[in-house]
Structure 1
């Protein structure tokens, strides 16, 4: 009898967040589930790791599921590292992260603990997927995403993994089940945040700052994740941890750095 695949589940909203509880339920339909997730919200933590303080990781039982669970005092990346190094019986067949409360499309990838967790898994040679729902509400409805999430994970589990490990960033629009038009394979839209800090004072007169900002989509083409989400589709963007800008490699190689170095020494 074929063994069930081992599925590692994590997130950045914390182990009790409704999004991860829904994802755990879906993954229990597909494999042997292990959960290692932060004990508190870690949104916007990116690829941070814990180096200067100790980590705690405790076994917990949050619901009546069949999965094995640990809550960790560290970041989502810490959770993945601990899971692979110490907690799981072997390397997982896939790592899934989420379901995040809120978007991780376009430039938000850079800040996302949800996405960083799956990137860390891919560094370790594990196929991985990050799931996000465009709804920040704690009581968001994740049920419309169930069918698509299960299909995506099954596709990865049952198809040969290419030499470059599959890592997908999946965003789901806030729509009813019948309103979702389908899935689009996309590229990451060019975008940015226009940010500022509200300067305030506490009752003792000490200054503090509160980050605020507006999302700006600079890319109106129809092959992007932002276009897909705005038009009722689930967006899937394949991602990687190699940040090399290959488009300018040849340009940089054409620069004569030896001449430049001599020039700097002279002047």
Structure 2
């Protein structure tokens, strides 16, 4: 098995080092990650400035671009083979509910999925790296089980996995979940620069709005590992009939 690892926290992040150490003896593993933190970069690609690939002293390769850039470059020329699995993370903080739209961790995994490769995004729920070794072991365990069951050689799929920051003896089971929802983000933060200009900082994410049983928010709050299959199709299938009924009005036929 050949695995490509990336992330959005940067190639120096403890999460990607832990993930590499957990997987390096179960597969041929390559790391291609951003040079700097790229949180909330989603699926962004760099199109108007050149990208450079460097190799760190630990053997990781890093790119002066986004998480999606890293996976895209790896799959379209940097690697001389096609990996069996793309794994992103382990992220420093949750990627649940609406967060998945913005997440660079999910964006890196999704880039692999768009190239027809199974992909997993791993995140820890809290942002303090507490019990990171347990999260890495759980990531390894999931990858191994999928490999043993022949699930990695099947058609591509995209999974979002959030792991509570808990010791092993307190960690719950793997739960299949849907995404929850958040309230709107908190207000933008304004400050004055030394030159008297107004600076704006994006406010914190809103609290959970839909954290009902069955959601990723609910599962992780109960100490379980939340696994959510994702898709890329943004079509609002439920409302296609509504728009079909209104097409004559919109097209001037009525």
Q: What band does the TM-score fall into relative to the shorter chain?
A: over 0.9
Asked whether 1:152 is paired with 2:148, we answer no
User: Which position in structure 2 is the counterpart of 1:186?
Assistant: 177
Unaligned runs of 5+ in 1: 63-67
CA contact (8 A) 2:160 2:230 kept: yes
- 5+ unaligned residues in a row in structure 2: which ranges? none
1:136 matched to which residue of 2? 127
Residue 224 of structure 1 corresponds to which residue in structure 2?
215
TM value normalised by structure 2? 0.93
Superposed CA deviations along residues 137-183 of structure 1, whole A, max 9, x for unmatched, are: 2x533112233211211233332458752211000112121111111
Distance 1:203 1:256, change over 3 A: closer
Distance (whole Å) between structure 1 residues aligned to residue 73 and residue 208 of structure 2:
36
CA–CA distance in structure 1, aligned partners of residues 249 and 101 of structure 2 = 36
- How many residue pairs align between the two structures? 253
Indicate the residue corresponding to 1:171 in structure 2.
162
Structure 2 matches for 1:196-211, cutoff 5 A? 196-211=187-202
CA positional deviation for 1:232: 0.6
Structure 2 CA distance for aligned equivalents of residues 259 and 110 of structure 1: 32
TM-score (norm 1): 0.89
Q: Which moved more, 1:208-217 or 1:13-22?
A: 208-217
Give structure 1 regions of 4+ aligned residues with deviation exceeding 4 angstroms. 161-164
Matching of residue 11 in structure 1 with residue 7 in structure 2: yes
* Paired residues for 1:1-267 under 5 Å: 5-62=1-58, 68-137=59-128, 139-158=129-148, 159-160=150-151, 165-253=156-244, 255-262=245-252
Q: CA deviation at 1:241?
A: 1.2
Please give the secondary structure, in 2, of the residue aligned with 1:151: helix
Tell me if the contact between 1:94 and 1:157 (Cα under 8 Å) persists in the aligned partners. Answer: no
- Aligned in 2, Cα 1:185/1:162: closer, same or farther, shift over 3 Å? farther
Q: How far, CA to CA, are the matches of 1:164 and 1:218 in structure 2? A: 34
Q: Distance in 2 between matches of 1:229 and 1:38?
A: 28
Q: Give, in angstroms, the shift of residue 260 of structure 1.
A: 3.7
Counterparts of 1:261 and 1:146 in 2: how far apart (Å)? 54
3-state SS, counterpart of residue 72 of structure 2: helix
SS of 1:218's equivalent in the other structure is: strand
